[in-house]
Amino acid sequence: MTENFQWTMSDMKILSLYTCGIMDSVSDEPNIMLDWRNKTKDYFSLHDVRVYNPTDRPHSSVSSLTDKEIFELDMVDVRNSDIILFDARNHGKPQFGSPVEVFYANYILHKPVIGWYDERGYRENSIFQNVLVSNMFPSLEEALEHIEEFYLGSR
């Protein structure tokens, strides 16, 4: 006799999250890349969720790591994460690494990508965002609450 297995989203318990967002183009404005990542880390510290933050690692302009080494370390963090939180805010500046990370996480690794933006909006005509971002929220807080409710459940 075959047992019926009923799978629900509450059965999916994330253990780790990668914070994906603009970095290179805003290195002269560190709060843009740091503030939301710190809020995310604080929020999920209550749930024992590991938050991978690429800003915790020195980048090529301030370390001996090469661009290739930094890229590989970021890809390891994406692979080790269960879900990706993507800063999709329209900063009016190019994002180089984020689209690659979103593509790799969702299309190659089949991981959920949760995006968020603010009053500046996001690039609605961006194919990679429209196709590869699983859910898009109008604030960081709403994205964090969604992840907590939908992916963590009563962990």
Residue 135, domain extent: 9-152
- pLDDT tens string 105-132: 999 999 999 999 988 767 665 777 778 9
Q: How many domains does the chain have?
A: 1
Question: Comparing C-alpha atoms, which of 97, 59, 58 is closest to residue 78?
Answer: 97
Residue 93 lies in a domain: yes
Between 89 and 83, name the one with better pLDDT.
Answer: 83
Whether the CB-CB separation of 90 and 123 falls below 8 Å is answered with yes
CATH of the domain at 112: 3.40.50.450
DSSP state of 47: T
E-strand ranges in 31-82 read 50-52
Residue 36 lies in a domain: yes
Give the model's pLDDT for residue 90. 79
Residue 28 lies in a domain: yes
Residue 3 lies in a domain: no
Give the model's pLDDT for residue 26. 54
Give the model's pLDDT for residue 13. 60
Residue 51 lies in a domain: yes
Give the model's pLDDT for residue 2. 44
Give the model's pLDDT for residue 61. 58
State both tokens at 57. 């690692």
- Residue 56 CA to residue 33 CA, distance in Å, equals 11
Amino acid 65 reads L
- Residue 100 CA to residue 76 CA, distance in Å, equals 13
Question: Comparing C-alpha atoms, which of 87, 90, 94 is closest to residue 121?
Answer: 90
Residues contacting 57, CB < 8 A, separation 6+: 63, 65, 70, 73
Give the model's pLDDT for residue 134. 92
Span 53-59, mean pLDDT? 80
Residue 1 lies in a domain: no
Mean pLDDT rounded to a whole number for the chain: 82
Residue 4 lies in a domain: no
Residue 2 lies in a domain: no
Please state which of the ranges 31-35, 60-64, 81-85, 99-103 shows the lowest mean pLDDT.
Answer: 60-64
Output the CA torsion sign for 68, 140, 37, 113.
negative
pTM (two decimals) = 0.84
Give the model's pLDDT for residue 25. 52
